[in-house]
Structure 1
């Protein structure tokens, strides 16, 4: 769609009902992720973020794993609504991005910079958040709907085993995406003057 950055920012929303249609080629999606991983900033240029992109059967397998793991801890009465939400909102989409942080990179920075040691895990989370925001906004600009989900750590072990993901990668979030199957949700905002302070003008 090639909106301005401001337009893309304003139009980004959470979509909880998705279809498996894509307005762009898989190649374009991969190029977008590569752009994000290269150019989104990180503390001390740590480059600690990692992403896993799942299409097709791999995407659907992820959400089957989520349901399987939830059944172990959710009551039979509650699991039906949860499964319906997953099947209609996440599994029904076109793909999923898994966001990880490499704990080895974080530990190395802690060792090399002991004065900031306790801050690096927080900065790592902030780095991941910036990648999530960038990818979410660019997906929106391509014509996708997406949302950010957090089924970790419930699914961590099963996902790591399924796709042979390094044990040093920590799963942070999951972003299912697809063509929106619902209208953009209305969003309310707190007044800016309650959230932004300006001095000197």
Structure 2
């Protein structure tokens, strides 16, 4: 199948070997990330997704703070792999911290009480879409990235270090940079156990 969206999805892979051999400037990358999030759909057009975009030393600081928090709970004799991960994430050009604004969610619950119980789930949908939008945009720009989930352990250190509003809830972290390694082939489970497809003829036949 020849389709630009599919081509982007094929390029988007989890990359842990990150570097700083990137031709785009920080300003260009910032603009790319912002536009990807702006264009991401959200329930009721709530636009609940938020982001803290970190470059260079700021990105390194986040991963050091996360490493420090992890060091307090991971046994010292088992910490080496965790430390190596933190260093690998910090080696990239930057990190996007993805948040969802809980004040926006609460406002929707108040304004649309019929759907009140659903809005937290809708917010998570928006978060996931914002993350894949940014990941795809970075992939199209030739950059590698991975999606990490060091919440809630990273929440408080990040909030203090980067003046994050209290209503923003950290949902994921995306370190990104140049590709410094290749990828293994990606396997897929069988379509038969994953998809159901019907057409009018099939429905009528029943």
TM superposition score normalised by structure 1: 0.95
Match of 1:119 in 2: 118
Match of 2:204 in 1: none
Residues 126-145 of structure 1: pairs in structure 2 closer than 5 A: 126-145=125-144
8 Å contact from structure 1 (residues 15, 185) kept in 2: no
Q: 1:69 and 2:58 equivalent? A: no
CA deviation after TM superposition for structure 1 residue 184, in Å: 1.9
Larger CA Rg, structure 1 vs 2: 2
Q: RMSD across aligned C-alpha pairs, in angstroms?
A: 1.2
Deviations 1:155-185 (A, max 9, x none): 1011100011101000000000011111123
Distance in 1 between residues matched to 2:108 and 2:124, nearest whole Å: 14
Match of 1:58 in 2: 58
Distance in 2 between residues matched to 1:173 and 1:153, nearest whole Å: 10
Match of 1:172 in 2: 171
Match of 1:188 in 2: 187
8 Å contact from structure 1 (residues 23, 144) kept in 2: no
8 Å contact from structure 2 (residues 69, 153) kept in 1: yes
3-state DSSP of counterpart to 2:51: strand
Distance in 2 between residues matched to 1:118 and 1:58, nearest whole Å: 37
In structure 1, list runs of 5 or more residues that go unmatched.
none
8 Å contact from structure 1 (residues 67, 83) kept in 2: yes
Match of 1:46 in 2: 46
Distance in 1 between residues matched to 2:39 and 2:19, nearest whole Å: 29
- Of the structure 1 ranges 113-122 and 20-29, higher mean CA displacement relative to structure 2 is found in 20-29
8 Å contact from structure 2 (residues 37, 133) kept in 1: no
In structure 2, list runs of 5 or more residues that go unmatched.
202-206
3-state DSSP of counterpart to 2:116: helix
3-state DSSP of counterpart to 1:160: helix
Distance in 1 between residues matched to 2:34 and 2:85, nearest whole Å: 30
Match of 2:29 in 1: 29
Deviations 1:71-109 (A, max 9, x none): 11110011122101221x201111000000000000010
The count of residues paired between Structure 1 and Structure 2 equals 198
8 Å contact from structure 2 (residues 37, 134) kept in 1: no
